[in-house]
């Protein structure tokens, strides 16, 4: 135990709290997340005006439904950016959409599972607008889900610091974002023409999925790395059940489906198709 810490944080506290997160979300926190848990939850203790983690544990027991959400929000990592892992969007623009156009099918369903603060679904929408000559004649819906209610608010608002869009091509910035003025200086807002395609919803991937449509492609990037092997396999099988016959699953750069499922085959660079 570090005596320099503002709050005493024992191994028992860590085990108790990460146990709640695992039971709630399936996310497994290894031992090296001890410091991260302390630093993020110490902020929560200050917000609540609590004196130590013993009080916080009691507060959790007294307010389980509400505070377990805040706990998950606090310790869930939400690292994302626009056009992250660019080859996925190149594949959509250069391969998937041309095939869709040739098929004369103008209906498109996309799911961004673990969408964080919204950069991923907005990047998908931009890519579709670039690749489809007449998007106004298409039936396009992008479902963006995350377990963290706070990041969903950011995504739904579509407002970002300028620093978040510095790497985006200037022509894209001019077309799909509006610079803030007055009190909004230093911010950009996503144009309504992108927002109209996207629906943000809170969703725990371990629970029921209110997904009515078969998806043409699903993004689940840098999510399954936080699950144990059994949970990962079960999740991937559910994705397979929710994909159209020629559907595509995009995974994160550090993830693999090797020995996790027989329902997908690798197309290349973390891009998977349903196995025949």
pTM for this entry = 0.79
Do 229 and 133 fall into the same domain?
Answer: yes
Among 75, 109, 128, residue at a domain's last position: 75
For residue 4, name the pLDDT band (cuts at 50, 70, 90): low
In this predicted model, what pLDDT tens digit does every residue of 31-70 receive, in sequence order?
A: 988 998 999 899 999 999 999 999 999 999 999 888 988 8
**Terminal alpha carbon distance of the chain:** 54
List the CATH number of the domain containing 144: 3.40.50.150
Give the number of other CB atoms < 10 A from CB of residue 34.
16
Interacting residues of 127 by C-beta distance below 8 A, sequence separation 6+: 89, 92, 93
- Whether 147 shows a pLDDT value over 50: the answer reads yes
Do 102 and 36 fall into the same domain?
Answer: no
Q: What is the pLDDT of residue 87?
A: 92
**Residue range(s) defining the domain that contains residue 221:** 86-157+191-274
To the nearest whole number, what is the mean pLDDT of the chain?
A: 90
Q: What is the pLDDT of residue 225?
A: 78
For residue 1, name the pLDDT band (cuts at 50, 70, 90): very low
- Whether 146 shows a pLDDT value over 60: the answer reads yes
Q: What is the pLDDT of residue 163?
A: 85
Domain count of the fold of the chain: 2
Do 255 and 140 fall into the same domain?
Answer: yes
Give the number of other CB atoms < 10 A from CB of residue 185.
9
Q: To the nearest whole percent, how much of the chain has pLDDT over 90? A: 62
Among 30, 51, 75, residue at a domain's last position: 75
222 neighbors 115 (Cβ within 8 angstroms): no
Quick check: is 59 in a domain? yes
DSSP count for the chain of H helices, then E strands:
11, 10
- Whether 77 shows a pLDDT value over 70: the answer reads no
In this predicted model, what pLDDT tens digit does every residue of 157-195 receive, in sequence order?
A: 999 998 888 888 899 999 999 998 888 889 999 999 999
- Whether 78 shows a pLDDT value over 70: the answer reads no
Do 113 and 213 fall into the same domain?
Answer: yes
Do 109 and 153 fall into the same domain?
Answer: yes
List the CATH number of the domain containing 40: 1.10.155.10
CA triple 240-29-83, angle to 5 deg = 55
User: Which positions are annotated as active-site residues?
Assistant: 40, 146
Do 16 and 133 fall into the same domain?
Answer: no
């Amino acid at each position: 135990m570090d005596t320099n810490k503002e709050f005493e944080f024992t191994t028992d506290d860590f085990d108790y709290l990460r146990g709640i997160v695992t039971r709630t979300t399936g996310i497994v926190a290894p031992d090296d997340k001890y410091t991260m848990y302390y630093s993020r939850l110490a902020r929560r203790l200050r917000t609540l005006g609590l004196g130590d983690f013993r009080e916080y544990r009691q507060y959790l027991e007294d307010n389980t439904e509400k505070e377990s959400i805040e706990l998950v929000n606090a310790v869930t990592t939400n690292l994302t950016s626009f056009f992250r892992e660019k080859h996925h969007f190149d594949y959509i623009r250069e391969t998937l959409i041309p095939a869709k156009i040739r098929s004369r099918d103008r209906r498109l369903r996309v799911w961004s599972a673990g969408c964080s603060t919204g950069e991923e679904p907005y990047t998908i929408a931009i890519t579709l607008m670039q690749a489809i000559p007449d998007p106004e004649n298409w039936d396009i819906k992008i479902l963006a889900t995350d377990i963290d209610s706070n990041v969903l608010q950011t995504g739904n608002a579509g407002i970002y610091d300028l620093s978040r869009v510095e790497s985006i091509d200037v022509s894209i910035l001019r077309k799909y974002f509006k610079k803030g003025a007055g009190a909004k200086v230093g911010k950009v807002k996503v144009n309504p023409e992108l927002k109209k395609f996207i629906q943000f919803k809170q969703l725990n991937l371990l629970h029921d999925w209110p997904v009515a449509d078969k998806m043409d492609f699903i993004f689940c990037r840098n999510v399954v790395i936080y699950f144990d092997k059994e949970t990962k396999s079960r999740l991937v099988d559910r994705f397979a059940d929710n994909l159209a016959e020629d559907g595509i699953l995009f995974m994160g750069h550090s993830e693999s489906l090797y020995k996790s499922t027989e329902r997908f085959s690798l197309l290349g660079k973390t891009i998977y198709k349903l196995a025949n």
